[in-house]
């Protein structure tokens, strides 16, 4: 029997519409309640001046293991997650081999248990080997523990495959995460198609590549009644489609990344590969649409799209280097910089997009401070100032566009299943 008292913090729990100063009491690996329990405990954490909220959840993380351990491992990736304030992550199946069998899902769970950091919820492949031709063994993947399905950065381009996948996964109540991009329109593209792609002489990816796929996925979600989650939306047109779909009651959710809020295509002027991402950075007009989508609830979740790569891979020329940035350890401060400081979101609304909303999409019993819930807690210092230094990342990846940025806010203490797993 072990008890913990988190004392005097600003408790924010969007799942219960709570935002007040109080005490949170934990017993073993469960939450006993807010302002309940004994005045003394085995362990006391002084949270004065800090925010106490449900453990943060990142639903878009690539851990690279098995196959690309030079880029990241389950141990290093989950350590990075803890440092960023995450108590749970959903990992992409874009490993080698692809997570398209029950054994592969169980391997991920085994490696997570060995690492002993945060919770890892595996996403299974929609199609075998991500080739877009034949459905993976969905039922076996569910039995193995897959909470959803995706072909990661490979868009499910074939509409009939997507339709059958939605009909199948609907029976299990699992979502399909799709990378909303028409492959033929995005082929060999390096950045957003527009003024700067012309100026820099780089092949562009038009916003229409995303808008068309989003419209198709919404139509298929309406047709099948399946659950579609649109990963990393970046365009104003996509946001408008999603907004209208939600008004009609179509089962559609979406996410945006911090780097698509903080940066634009103009940042590629120096040909720095750390600004090459997929989907690409867009214009300030698209960024404004994303922020409005977060404000009005059109966009449900903020996720890191954590894509770690070994340093030598990102040192290639811009047209050769892989697209993607590491994001677990910078998600929270970049959200503070782009959303909290300008007044676009309150802390309660931001935390909802990092806790209960992603938990609901994944169908997991997380993201809340209700009595009896798992004792996964993130304690945030909202005012501390620090400088982003990639050499201090827990992740093996150093490919961040935010190196040297002066930011505010970071995870102070992270508790998983009642145990402190990270503390500044």
**Distance of alpha carbon 345 from alpha carbon 343, whole angstroms:** 6
pLDDT at 263: 98
Residue from 13, 217, 305, 376 carrying the catalytic annotation? 305
Residue 37's pLDDT band (cuts 50, 70, 90): low
pLDDT at position 36: 80
Would you say 281 and 191 are in contact if contact means Cβ atoms under 8 Å apart?
Answer: yes
Q: With 80 as the cut, is the pLDDT of residue 52 above it?
A: yes
Strands 204-205 and 43-46 turn out to be unpaired
Per residue in 371-406, pLDDT (tens digit) is: 999 999 999 999 999 999 999 999 999 999 999 999
Residue 38 pLDDT:
63
Bridge partner list, 156: none
Condensed to tens digits (0 to 9), the pLDDT of residues 81-103 reads 999 999 999 999 999 999 999 99
CATH number for 55-362: choose from 3.20.20.140, 2.40.50.180, 3.90.226.10, 3.40.109.10: 3.20.20.140
pLDDT of residue 40 exceeding 90? no
Show the CA angle centred on residue 240, arms to residues 288 and 154, nearest 5°: 90
| CATH 2.30.40.10 residue window(s) in the chain | 3-51+374-423
Helix (H) or strand (E) holding 220: helix 208-224
- Whether the pLDDT of residue 253 is over 70: the answer is yes
Which residues sit opposite 51 in a β-bridge?
Answer: 10, 380
* Rounded average pLDDT over 319-328: 97
Supply the mean pLDDT for the chain: 97
Query: DSSP alpha helices (H): ranges in 31-125?
Result: 74-83, 102-115
Distance of CA 115 to the CA centre of its chain: 20
| pLDDT at position 1 | 74
Q: For 5-10, what is the mean pLDDT?
A: 96
305 catalytically annotated: yes
Give the global pTM: 0.97
Of 1.10.150.120, 3.40.50.300, 3.40.50.920, 2.30.40.10, which CATH number belongs to 3-51+374-423? 2.30.40.10
Domain with CATH 3.20.20.140 in the chain: 55-362
Instruction: Report the pLDDT averaged over residues 180-191.
Output: 97
Calculate the alpha carbon distances from 320 to 113, 199, 273, 278 in Å.
36, 19, 9, 13
CB-based burial, 55-66: b 16+ in 10 Å, e otherwise: bbbbbbbbbbbb
């Amino acid at each position: 029997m072990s008890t913990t008292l988190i004392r005097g913090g600003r408790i924010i729990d969007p799942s219960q519409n709570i935002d007040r100063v109080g005490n949170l009491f934990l017993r073993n690996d469960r939450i006993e309640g807010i302002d309940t329990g004994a005045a003394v405990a085995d362990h006391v954490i002084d949270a004065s001046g800090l925010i106490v909220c449900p453990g943060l959840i990142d639903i878009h993380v690539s851990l690279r293991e098995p196959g690309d351990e030079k880029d990241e491992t389950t141990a290093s990736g989950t350590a990075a997650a803890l440092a960023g304030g995450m108590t749970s992550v959903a990992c992409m199946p874009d490993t080698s081999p692809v997570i398209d069998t029950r054994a592969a899902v169980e391997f991920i769970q085994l490696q997570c248990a060995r690492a002993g950091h945060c919770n890892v919820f595996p996403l299974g492949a929609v199609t075998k080997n991500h080739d877009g031709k034949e459905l993976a063994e969905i039922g076996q993947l569910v039995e193995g523990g897959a909470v959803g399905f995706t072909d990661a950065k490979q868009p499910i381009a074939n509409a009939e495959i997507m339709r059958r996948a939605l009909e199948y996964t609907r029976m299990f109540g699992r979502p399909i995460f799709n990378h909303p991009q028409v492959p033929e329109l995005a082929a060999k593209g390096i950045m957003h198609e527009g003024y700067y792609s012309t100026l820099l002489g780089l092949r562009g990816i038009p916003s229409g590549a995303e808008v068309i796929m989003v419209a198709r996925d919404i139509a298929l979600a309406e047709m099948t009644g399946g659950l579609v989650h649109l990963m990393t939306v970046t365009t104003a047109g996509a946001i408008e489609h999603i907004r209208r779909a939600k008004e009609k009651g179509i089962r559609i959710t979406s996410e945006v990344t911090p780097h698509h809020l903080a940066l634009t295509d103009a940042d590629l002027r120096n040909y720095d590969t750390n600004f090459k991402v997929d989907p690409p950075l867009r214009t300030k007009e698209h960024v404004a649409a994303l922020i409005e989508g977060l404000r009005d609830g059109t966009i449900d979740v903020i996720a890191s799209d954590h894509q770690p790569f070994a340093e030598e891979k990102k040192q290639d020329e811009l047209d050769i280097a892989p697209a993607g940035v590491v994001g677990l350890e910078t998600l929270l401060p970049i959200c503070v910089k782009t959303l909290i400081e300008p007044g676009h979101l309150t802390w309660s609304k931001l935390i909802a997009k990092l806790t209960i909303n992603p938990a609901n999409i994944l169908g997991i019993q997380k993201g809340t401070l209700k009595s009896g819930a798992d004792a996964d807690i993130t304690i945030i210092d909202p005012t501390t100032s620090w400088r982003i230094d990639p050499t201090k990342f827990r992740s093996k990846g150093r490919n961040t566009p935010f190196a040297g940025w002066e930011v505010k806010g970071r995870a102070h203490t992270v508790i998983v299943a009642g145990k402190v797993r990270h503390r500044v």
